[in-house]
Amino acid sequence: EAQVTQNPRYLITVTGKKLTVTCSQNMNHEYMSWYRQDPGLGLRQIYYSMNVEVTDKGDVPEGYKVSRKEKRNFPLILESPSPNQTSLYFCASSPRQGLYGYTFGSGTRLTVV
Amino acid sequence: GENVEQHPSTLSVQEGDSAVIKCTYSDSASNYFPWYKQELGKRPQLIIDIRSNVGEKKDQRIAVTLNKTAKHFSLHITETQPEDSAVYFCAASRGGGGRLYFGRGTQLTVWP
């Protein structure tokens, strides 16, 4: 089944403790992206990748890191999480950026205390 | 960059009525406009999209219209049903490598 898989689905952590949210797609998509969703603010892009080893900042990149060493994987790293990073996170992929719709992962609800 | 504005932020309709959600965009070079539906607790899912060489596209009860001159596009849902209740997001992109920019979403509630 074609899908984008995110893990974990739920995560509660403490301020400053490094964490990684994994994202993997099995559709051979070139483009992958991370979004955070907060009430009233919609979907805001954190980082995106147009292909292996090519990443760029979105609208809200502060406090996040990403890497794209393989085409299928695009992990999101929070080196030192803070409470303002409490949010719902979505990974998404597309065959080509801006030309086709996205396939979203199931989401990761992160709480930083 | 692109700025996508979406209205209204909330919309309540009676079952069987029509619902219309409107979006405007700022970048005249944008040429790809998808719409996503997000049910409560679930991921956004693409429901329909339109490209700038087309003025209207329909898929059963859903249609999208595009006015390039005015830089706005709209989602039309006819004969609404309670299962249409969700948050709807519009988006715009230049295509061919351009980023996808989302509106802030519309919470649609369909009352039985």
Q: Collect all residues of chain B within an 8 Å Cβ-Cβ radius of residue A43.
A: 44, 89, 102, 105
Q: Determine the average pLDDT of the residues in B3-12.
A: 96
CB contacts < 8 A (A, B): 59
- DSSP codes of every residue in B4-59: EEEE-SEEEEETTS-EEEEEEES-TT--EEEEEEE-TTS--EEEEEEETT-SEEEE
**pLDDT tens string B51-74:** 888 899 999 999 999 999 999 999
Closest by alpha carbon to B34, among B98, B84, B109, B102? B102
Residue B98 has pLDDT above 70, yes or no: no
**Per-residue pLDDT, A44:** 93
Q: How confident is the model at residue A98 (pLDDT cuts 50, 70, 90)?
A: low
Q: Collect all residues of chain B within an 8 Å Cβ-Cβ radius of residue A50.
A: 97
Q: For residue A8, what are its two tokens?
A: 């974990």
Residue A99 has pLDDT above 90, yes or no: no
Residue with tokens 């609800």: A109
Are B99 and A40 in contact (CB < 8 Å)?
no
Q: Collect all residues of chain A within an 8 Å Cβ-Cβ radius of residue B43.
A: 90, 104-107
**Per-residue pLDDT, B53:** 83
B48 to chain A, closest Cα gap in Å: 9
Which residues of A make CB contacts under 8 Å with B?
33, 40-45, 48, 50, 58, 90, 96-99, 101-107
What is the average pLDDT score of chain B?
94
Are B44 and A50 in contact (CB < 8 Å)?
no
Which residues of B make CB contacts under 8 Å with A?
6, 9, 32, 34, 36, 42-46, 49, 89, 93-100, 102-105
Q: Determine the average pLDDT of the residues in A76-92.
A: 97
Are B31 and B52 in contact by the 8 Å Cβ rule? The answer is yes
Q: How confident is the model at residue A2 (pLDDT cuts 50, 70, 90)?
A: confident
What is the average pLDDT score of chain A?
94
Q: Determine the average pLDDT of the residues in A4-25.
A: 97
